[in-house]
Amino acid sequence: MTKTLEQLRSRRWFAASGMRAFAHRQRIQQMGLRREDVLDKPIVAIVNTWSDLSPCHAHLRERAEAVKRGVLMAGGFPFELPAMSLGEVMVKPTTMLYRNFLAMETEELLRSLPVDAAVLLGGCDKTTPGLLMGAISMGIPALFCPAGPMLNDRHRGQPVGAGTHTRMFWDEYQAGAIGDDEWVHLESRMTRSPGTCNTMGTASTLTAMAEALGLCLPGSSSIPAMDAAHTRMATTCGERIVAMVWDDLTPQRILTRGAFLNAVAVQMALGGSTNAAVHVIAMARRAGVALDLDDLDAMARRVPVIANLFPSGDRLMEDFYYAGGLPALMQVIRGHLSLGELTVTGRTLGEQIAGCEVGDAEVIRPLSNPVSRDGALAVLRGNLAPDGAVMKPSAATPRFLRHRGRALVFDSQPQMLAAMADPALDCNEDTVLVLRNAGPVGAPGMPEWGGLPIPKKLLERGVRDMVRLSDARMSGTHYGSCVLHISPESAVGGPLALVATGDEIELDVPARRLHLHVPDSVLAERRARWTPPPEQYHRGFTRLYKDHVTQAHEGCDLDFLQGTAGTPEPDIF
């Protein structure tokens, strides 16, 4: 134990002698609490991203009660604090626009209130990095309690997963292979219970990476949301955070470069979402750790995909849990991990995964029999992406990993969607579809438009994949030969802005190359004529975001929130 009672941050609110401290104790009692409830014990914030419109977090109110039980049993006192709930599917234009909003809210909530530590409740895509970025910047002990994946579902005897199968069935519906009645019926399949997407989408990727970083209890990210073990895990989170206060176990002590590389290794072994490339760099920058796209590419070349989960494989998260979950997977790749890294338990990662075994080698494969050797991520560079772009080879059609084709360019999502339905659209399966003005500044918020739909006339001919390029992101649950996160983005004048329909584009994933076959002199002429898209946002958070967001290869954080420069603690008077 390194912290004394007198050093508790909350005592500055409750144990002081002035009129203001009197008011703090007075207002505690106004809520029916006793002054001794908040004196002489750690105060734990439970930052909860529950809302009535966040289906992946529908159970988090009950889980907050379990966390409270744990805090009380360990001698602390809990307060639940609501934070912005980013339900991935409901929020428009995109939750990515608000990840930094949640990060700011989390940091400022924790700073402005009398709390000594925080348990963070979230899991749907951007909530994990949002909560963690805020907690990292605040710097008090913090423990992430993952929402957990929803239960498996089946349709016509086959496992169906959230996101992945929505896109598959949509393509079949567009192609006329699925009728209207079945399409309506499918609305109630695939998403069987509260909890995050049950595929290896962004949610499952990020919660697993949070665990690999050392910020979760061991095994917690794999527990299905509706399993009784999930409630027990939440109680243990409450118990553990109190001990973390006395040990002063802050994120800064846990988040080393080794911890971040562990998270990246896990991303690759899972066949995780390309979105993680943006979030892990943003989190590292908050922690003052050097990490860039080259680190991710290097890890992807070393660690094959061994988790047999949609969209790279054919199983779901509940199967992953039964197979031993993340600790078992980390045992398989232990040779790629830094096992001495500290975690929220006070033990090292190596100590935590010792003795964990794979229960089903078809779900968590041995390194000798991976799901894909092509890798979960490839970082591409070239005259079209000087600062990088990403792709997920394990979820792409192998023949497109080396491809040269004619560009068909769209300047906006509405224009692109209208064209996809046009039976006269001039394209074939070798055409390279290009969408621009979909990046952090251009969209704004870098939405998941990067999995451009296949033109309807090609769907009807049986085409299910094409090479697609954009400065957008793609849902982690989706699949296809999509080059994403092109940086710098077109809206700030990146080379993507200069591509014209008919240009030849070359993609060479083994060589990590993305090249626009247009002479430099022609590109210079086009640049001289280029003007940025007209400004539509003149106020509010979106204005702030557009003025300060960094590019994809830098993590898309707001520039003034990066780094470790401290913010003074609020004065107490």
Residues that bind ligand FES (CB under 6 A): 56, 88-89, 124-125, 162, 196-197, 201, 203
Q: Which of 227, 153, 112 is closest to 219 using CA atoms?
A: 227
Q: Which helix (H) or strand (E) is 485 found in, with range? A: strand 482-487
Q: Which residues contact 572 (CB under 8 A, 6 or more apart)?
A: 12, 13, 16, 18, 20, 21
Nearer to ligand FES, 38 or 151 (CB): 151
Residue matched to tokens 């080059």: 483
Nearer to ligand FES, 165 or 403 (CB): 165
Q: How far apart are CA 25 and CA 14, in angstroms?
A: 6
Omega cis (within 30) before 311: yes
Structure-derived torsion over alpha carbons of residues 398, 402, 408, 412, reported in degrees to the nearest 10:
70
- Residue-wise DSSP of 143-202: EEEE--BPPPEEETTEEE-TTHHHHHHHHHHHTTSS-HHHHHHHTTSS--SSSB-SSSSH
Q: Which two tokens stand for residue 412?
A: 């906006």
In whole angstroms, how close is the CB of 240 to ligand FES at the nearest point? 25
Nearer to ligand FES, 80 or 125 (CB): 125
Nearer to ligand FES, 148 or 388 (CB): 148
Nearer to ligand FES, 50 or 77 (CB): 50
Q: How far apart are CA 456 and CA 420, in angstroms?
A: 6
Nearer to ligand FES, 71 or 124 (CB): 124
Q: Which two tokens stand for residue 267?
A: 């991303």
Q: How far apart are CA 411 and CA 435, in angstroms?
A: 6
Nearer to ligand FES, 204 or 490 (CB): 204
Nearer to ligand FES, 10 or 275 (CB): 275
In whole angstroms, how close is the CB of 456 to ligand FES at the nearest point? 26
Strands 77-82 and 43-48, sheet pairing: parallel
In whole angstroms, how close is the CB of 491 to ligand FES at the nearest point? 26
In whole angstroms, how close is the CB of 54 to ligand FES at the nearest point? 8
In whole angstroms, how close is the CB of 199 to ligand FES at the nearest point? 8
In whole angstroms, how close is the CB of 203 to ligand FES at the nearest point? 3
For 210-283, strand residue ranges (E) read none
In whole angstroms, how close is the CB of 561 to ligand FES at the nearest point? 24
In whole angstroms, how close is the CB of 86 to ligand FES at the nearest point? 9
Residue matched to tokens 């970025």: 133
In whole angstroms, how close is the CB of 185 to ligand FES at the nearest point? 20
Q: Which of 159, 225, 216 is closest to 195 using CA atoms?
A: 225
DSSP state of 274: T
3-state secondary structure 496-535: HHHCCCCCEEEEECCCCEEEEECCHHHHHHHHHHCCCCCC
Nearer to ligand FES, 189 or 513 (CB): 189
Q: Which helix (H) or strand (E) is 388 found in, with range? A: strand 385-391
In whole angstroms, how close is the CB of 56 to ligand FES at the nearest point? 3
In whole angstroms, how close is the CB of 55 to ligand FES at the nearest point? 7
Q: 331: buried, middle or exposed (CB in 10 Å: 19+, 13-18, 0-12)?
A: middle
Nearer to ligand FES, 163 or 327 (CB): 163
Q: How far apart are CA 303 and CA 256, in angstroms?
A: 20
Nearer to ligand FES, 146 or 494 (CB): 146
Q: Which residues contact 516 (CB under 8 A, 6 or more apart)?
A: 382, 383, 384, 495, 498, 499, 503, 504, 505, 523
Nearer to ligand FES, 44 or 56 (CB): 56
Nearer to ligand FES, 196 or 221 (CB): 196
Angle at 546 (CA atoms; ends 544, 547), nearest 5 degrees: 65
Q: 457: buried, middle or exposed (CB in 10 Å: 19+, 13-18, 0-12)?
A: middle
Q: How far apart are CA 343 and CA 232, in angstroms?
A: 19
